[in-house]
């Protein structure tokens, strides 16, 4: 029975991946529309939009958001082992988080991919003066608070 359940989990995971691909396409459209709205807000002296988009490539992000008014941070986990990232995910995620909707066997693979993408993004961010890579591997909450303080000083 366990093998059958695991196969069902794999099938569900494959369907979720296809759903994610569709959402990613829609996400790109929404992001572009959001940017147009942001440009209007900046002209009116309004500030304060945060876009949290894990599906966007660094180059595409730069193309869409490159503007002196925009502050862009790329958060990643490039300075951690896959095992440690998996441990942190298990420790801090709630029952509603994404990690509880994938087969347990996939989490180590996902962690490896997250770290690989973070390392790639860290390198890519160096190409763009307006995108700052910030590693959250060790103490995510502390890093996020530092970003908030930095933004408060800028604004």
Q: How many CA atoms lie within 13 A of 90 on its CB side?
A: 12
Backbone angles phi, psi at 8, to 5 degrees: -60, -40
pLDDT at 47: 55
pLDDT in tens, the chain (155 residues): 465 665 555 556 666 656 556 656 666 666 666 666 666 655 555 555 566 666 678 888 888 777 777 788 888 999 999 999 999 998 888 888 888 888 888 899 989 999 999 999 999 999 988 888 999 999 888 988 898 888 878 76
Domain range for 76 is 2-46+54-154
Name every residue whose Cβ is closer than 8 Å to that of residue 20 and which is 6 or more positions away in sequence: 55
Strands annotated E in 2-153: 72-76, 131-135
pTM for the whole structure: 0.67
């Amino acid at each position: 029975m366990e093998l059958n359940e695991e196969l069902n989990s794999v099938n569900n995971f494959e369907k979720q991946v296809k759903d994610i691909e569709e959402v990613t396409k829609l996400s790109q459209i929404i992001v572009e529309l959001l940017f147009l709205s942001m440009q209007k807000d900046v002209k009116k002296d309004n500030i304060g939009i945060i876009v949290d988009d894990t599906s966007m490539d660094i180059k595409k992000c730069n193309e869409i958001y490159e503007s002196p008014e925009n502050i862009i941070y790329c958060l990643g986990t490039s300075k951690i082992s896959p095992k440690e990232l998996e441990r942190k995910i298990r420790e801090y995620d709630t029952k509603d988080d994404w990690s509880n909707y994938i087969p347990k066997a996939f989490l180590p693979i996902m962690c490896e991919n997250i770290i690989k993408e973070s390392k790639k993004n860290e390198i890519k961010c160096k190409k763009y003066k307006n995108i700052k890579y910030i590693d959250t591997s060790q103490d995510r909450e502390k890093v996020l608070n530092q970003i908030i303080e930095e933004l408060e000083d800028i604004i």
